[in-house]
């Protein structure tokens, strides 16, 4: 492991600041370096003049070739099993941080008493889970590569077996508490840092449970926005709809909030300040799916209002990550270079070129670009590379008002999600189909052109008839949307955020990240128009705003208004800013005051300072 990283660092040694130790710069020195210098020296020697010369700054051999379609994904993605957190009277989840018994020094859970009535959680008031961030020594990305070290969140299956990066099934109206233990080794060598802050992207989660980047912790260290280290941290996910203050819980609104604000496909990942790309690349990421009465996760649901989308084994999340491997097949990542490391292998749920055997019926696939920096445009193709149609139902975890029928592509910036329904009953048994990425990309700056046939990343084999008739469906309307009114738009102040290059790093409004001070203070209940601008002709920034979704009002390219694509006309939490593009979007800021962030979700840009703190204040 170590030798390969050191080899790699030779390539980028010119990026190192004077006085640092090129072969073993500690994570702490990198962190303090960012703080003290604004990192301007770090990149100063790298004078970049054009996209081409920038791309040449780091030259790596390609990852070793792999034989495709050797490993199968499981036919079903099971939900993680709960852990009873009430068995030890000293460790019962509570509103205040339990620092006496090794919890890190987090802020107290907001509205705890509203939800639970007592300082401590009582029996059956919430679904409770335990995750342990751990080293896993023998992960196999591909049988042609050796088993190797990754970091995973370890939950458990129903039978008690460990479940790496488990998928959560949550339900609106039912709170969830996740107790996250940090058991990563504090003497870790290689990319990644053993302090963590887990973000659940993009649930309506109070600030103290949002995985704020400065809230990182380990047993010995804590970020600048926590009051102390600890062995674990409790994250409280109320699972209410956004708009709680305007749409209070009551007999006619059992969940609380505005049900038009429901989300579905979410994911959790590490969000440690300066180390999100390296820690997520190390493997700290998983799915959190949430259901409600409409999107109920039951295709047999007798409730006439239920959508009855494909469910159970036929509701299948797929996470894509770009990774690079050295000549020995060991993953590498440069967490020092502002160029990061461009992944030329694409993993699907942690596997390179896997196979998924499917039944001849409809499936809901939840596609997630889990980063760190590659963009995708996926097509479903047959053996002859002819594109196949599907239905696009949800973007960024928000069901669209109406499904988009007869679609042929899913474009995903980092952290974007696209849910599609594929009907395999159109095909004969034995048919083989592929998911292929046709977006050309050669560095971490952003994508280029679309080119067929593209790279096949996942193979489907239709290998069986369904065990029972397929009763799932895609109704002609999905979830109603609350668009801002003309009066709301006219009354909303406009705030401008400029995403640009600065000293070979990445800045927002000419500043590097500072988790200690907010760049905006927004009154709770406020509405604003945010204009996101990318003045560069060279880079793409998938911008993510935590906590609240927005509505894209307008898009511009080179100052000229261009149409908003159909899949972006629902609510969003990632806004893909291509070169010389800008976006105007409408936001509401509700329910849970505190500190949040906006950042480029190209995690390499994010870690090299393209992030800003903003607060909701009362």
Tell me how far, at minimum, the Cβ of 539 lies from Cu ion, in Å.
6
Cβ 148 vs Cβ 281: under 8 Å: no
- Decide whether 135 or 334 has the Cβ nearer to Cu ion: 334
Say if residue 485 is preceded by a cis peptide, omega within 30 of 0.
no
Cβ 343 vs Cβ 321: under 8 Å: yes
Stretch that binds Cu ion, among 161-169, 316-324, 525-533, 536-544 (CB under 5 A): 536-544
Tell me how far, at minimum, the Cβ of 511 lies from Cu ion, in Å.
15
Tell me how far, at minimum, the Cβ of 232 lies from Cu ion, in Å.
32
Number of residues binding to Cu ion, judged by CB under 5 A: 4
Tell me how far, at minimum, the Cβ of 190 lies from Cu ion, in Å.
25
Stretch that binds Cu ion, among 164-172, 363-371, 405-413, 592-600 (CB under 5 A): 592-600
Cβ 218 vs Cβ 186: under 8 Å: yes
Does 600 sit near Cu ion (CB under 5 A)?
yes
- Decide whether 445 or 590 has the Cβ nearer to Cu ion: 445
Looking at residues 235 to 264 of the shown chain, list those that interact with Cu ion (rule: CB under 5 A). Answer: none
- Decide whether 58 or 600 has the Cβ nearer to Cu ion: 600
Does 532 sit near Cu ion (CB under 5 A)?
no
- Pair of tokens at residue 489: 């738009």
Tell me how far, at minimum, the Cβ of 601 lies from Cu ion, in Å.
7
Stretch that binds Cu ion, among 193-201, 265-273, 509-517, 593-601 (CB under 5 A): 593-601
What distance in Å separates the CA atoms of residue 45 and residue 41, rounded to the nearest whole number?
Answer: 8
- Pair of tokens at residue 359: 């039944």
Tell me how far, at minimum, the Cβ of 538 lies from Cu ion, in Å.
11
Stretch that binds Cu ion, among 186-194, 259-267, 524-532, 534-542 (CB under 5 A): 534-542
Tell me how far, at minimum, the Cβ of 611 lies from Cu ion, in Å.
10
Does 536 sit near Cu ion (CB under 5 A)?
no
- Decide whether 128 or 444 has the Cβ nearer to Cu ion: 444
- Pair of tokens at residue 561: 């208004």
Q: Which residue stretches of 236-334 are H helix? A: 276-281
Residue by residue, DSSP assigns 324-345 as EE-TTS-EE--SSSTT-----E
Pick the binder of Cu ion from 417, 541, 572, 595 (CB under 5 A).
Answer: 541
Cβ 108 vs Cβ 116: under 8 Å: no
Pick the binder of Cu ion from 602, 603, 607, 616 (CB under 5 A).
Answer: 602
Residues across the chain: 618
Tell me how far, at minimum, the Cβ of 157 lies from Cu ion, in Å.
37
Q: Please enumerate in sequence order all residues whose Cβ is within 8 A of that of 555, keeping only pairs 6 or more positions apart, or say none.
A: 561, 562, 563, 564, 568, 581, 582, 583, 584
Stretch that binds Cu ion, among 342-350, 449-457, 555-563, 605-613 (CB under 5 A): 605-613
- Decide whether 310 or 550 has the Cβ nearer to Cu ion: 550
Does 612 sit near Cu ion (CB under 5 A)?
no
Tell me how far, at minimum, the Cβ of 446 lies from Cu ion, in Å.
8
Pick the binder of Cu ion from 30, 501, 605, 613 (CB under 5 A).
Answer: 605
Q: What is the 3-state secondary structure (H, E, C) of 90-150?
A: CCCCECCCCHHHCECCCCCCCCHHHHHCCCECCCCCCEEEEEEEEEEEEECCCCCCCCEEE
Query: Around 247, how many Cα atoms within 13 Å sit in the side-chain half-sphere?
Result: 15
Tell me how far, at minimum, the Cβ of 179 lies from Cu ion, in Å.
33
Cα 163–Cα 455–Cα 420 angle in degrees, nearest 5? 60
What distance in Å separates the CA atoms of residue 526 and residue 175, rounded to the nearest whole number?
Answer: 26
- Decide whether 360 or 541 has the Cβ nearer to Cu ion: 541
What distance in Å separates the CA atoms of residue 362 and residue 307, rounded to the nearest whole number?
Answer: 14
- Pair of tokens at residue 101: 């018994």
Binding site for Cu ion (CB under 5 A): 541, 600, 602, 605
């Amino acid at each position: 492991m170590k030798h390969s990283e050191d080899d790699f660092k030779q390539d980028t040694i010119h990026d190192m600041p004077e006085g640092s130790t090129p072969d073993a710069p500690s994570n702490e020195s990198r962190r303090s370096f960012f703080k003290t210098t604004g990192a301007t020296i770090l990149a100063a020697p790298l004078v970049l003049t054009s996209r081409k010369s920038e791309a040449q700054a780091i030259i790596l051999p390609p990852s070793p070739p792999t034989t495709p379609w050797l490993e199968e994904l499981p036919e079903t993605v099971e939900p993680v099993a709960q852990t009873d957190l009430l068995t030890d009277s000293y460790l019962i989840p509570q509103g205040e941080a339990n620092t006496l018994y090794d919890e890190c020094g987090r802020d107290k859970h907001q509205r705890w008493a509203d939800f639970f009535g007592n300082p401590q959680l009582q029996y059956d008031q919430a679904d409770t889970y335990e995750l342990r961030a751990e080293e896993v020594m023998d992960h196999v990305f591909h049988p042609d590569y050796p088993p190797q070290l990754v970091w995973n969140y370890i939950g458990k299956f129903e039978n008690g077996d460990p479940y790496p990066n488990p998928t959560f099934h949550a339900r609106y109206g039912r709170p969830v508490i996740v107790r996250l233990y940090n058991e990563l080794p504090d003497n870790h060598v290689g990319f990644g840092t053993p302090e963590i802050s887990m973000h659940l992207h993009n649930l309506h989660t109070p600030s103290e449970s949002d995985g704020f980047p400065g809230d990182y912790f380990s047993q010995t260290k804590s970020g600048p926005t926590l009051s102390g280290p600890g062995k674990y941290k409790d994250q409280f996910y109320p699972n209410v709809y956004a708009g709680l203050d305007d749409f209070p819980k009551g007999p006619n609104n059992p969940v609380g909030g505005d049900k038009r604000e429901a989300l579905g496909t979410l994911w959790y990942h590490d969000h440690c300040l300066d180390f999100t790309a390296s820690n997520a690349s190390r493997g700290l990421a998983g799915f959190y799916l949430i259901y409600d009465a409409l999107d109920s996760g039951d295709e047999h649901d007798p409730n006439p209002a239920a959508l009855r989308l494909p469910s159970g084994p036929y509701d299948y999340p797929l996470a894509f990550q770009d990774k690079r491997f050295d000549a020995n097949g060991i993953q590498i990542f440069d967490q020092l270079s502002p160029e990061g490391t461009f992944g030329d292998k694409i993993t699907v749920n942690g596997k390179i070129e896997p196979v998924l055997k499917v039944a001849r019926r409809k499936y809901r696939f939840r596609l997630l670009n889990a980063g760190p920096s590659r963009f995708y445009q996926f097509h479903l193709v047959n053996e002859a590379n002819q594109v196949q149609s599907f239905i696009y139902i949800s973007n960024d975890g928000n069901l669209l008002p109406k499904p988009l029928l007869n679609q042929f592509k899913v474009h995903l910036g980092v952290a974007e999600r696209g849910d599609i329904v594929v009907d395999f009953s159109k095909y004969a048994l034995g048919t083989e189909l592929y998911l292929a990425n046709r977006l050309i990309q050669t560095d971490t700056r952003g994508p280029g052109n679309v080119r067929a046939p593209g790279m096949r990343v996942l193979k489907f084999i239709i290998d069986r008839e369904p065990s029972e008739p397929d009763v799932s469906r895609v109704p002609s309307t999905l979830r109603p949307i609350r668009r801002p009114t003309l009066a709301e738009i006219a009354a909303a102040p406009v705030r401008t955020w400029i995403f640009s290059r600065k000293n070979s790093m990445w800045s927002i409004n000419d500043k590097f990240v500072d988790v200690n001070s907010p760049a905006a203070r927004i009154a709770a209940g406020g509405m604003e128009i945010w204009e996101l601008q990318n003045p560069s002709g060279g880079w793409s920034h998938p911008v993510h705003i935590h906590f609240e979704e927005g509505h894209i009002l307008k898009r511009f390219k080179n100052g000229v208004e261009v149409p908003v694509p159909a899949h972006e006309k629902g609510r969003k939490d990632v806004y893909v800013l291509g070169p010389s593009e800008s976006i105007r979007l409408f936001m509401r800021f509700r329910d849970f005051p505190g500190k949040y962030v906006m950042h480029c979700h190209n995690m390499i840009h994010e870690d090299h300072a393209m992030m800003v703190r903003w607060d909701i204040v009362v």
